[in-house]
Amino acid sequence: TFRANRLDELKCHPTVKPVALVADAVRDCTRRGDIVLDIFGGSGTTILAAERVGRRAYTLEIEPRFVDVTIKRWQAFSAKDAICAETGLSFDETASKRAMVPAAGPAPTDVR
């Protein structure tokens, strides 16, 4: 389907699904408060859909950039800050710290 923001969505992930479509499926197959598992998290549509219909979503995503896309989409959708359970830092604080860490590579003395 060609929604108004479809092209913007495709810039962040090649197969973004409509939240309303996934929300309908989640609502039809689960009860309020149930857990929905998505082992191919992608752009986070399942998380948004589950939240919309009162379910909890657990997702996995192997690609770090898509994890970031998911978190940004969830923050925009929920108007909440994502907080890292391990550190207590917000997503933005974590991203800032990551930006300050130099890229991994050989130390200058290791170059031959």
Which pLDDT score is estimated for 6? 57
- Our measurement of the distance from residue 63's CA atom to the centroid of its chain's CA atoms, rounded to an integer in Å, reads 10
Query: What residue spans of the chain are helical by DSSP H?
Result: 6-12, 19-29, 45-52, 64-78, 91-100
Report the mean per-residue pLDDT for the chain.
86
Residue 108 tokens, joined: 């200058």
Which pLDDT score is estimated for 7? 56
The answer to whether residues 46 and 26 touch, using CB atoms and an 8 Å cutoff, is yes
Q: Is 46 exposed, middle or buried (0-12, 13-18, 19+ CB in 10 A)?
A: buried
Which pLDDT score is estimated for 18? 86
At residue 55, does pLDDT exceed 70?
Answer: yes
Confidence of residue 10 (pLDDT cuts 50, 70, 90): low
Quote the CA–CA distance of 73 and 57 in Å, as a whole number. Answer: 14
Confidence of residue 77 (pLDDT cuts 50, 70, 90): very high
Q: Which fold has domain 6-102?
A: Rossmann fold (3.40.50)
Which pLDDT score is estimated for 97? 86
**pTM assigned to the model:** 0.75
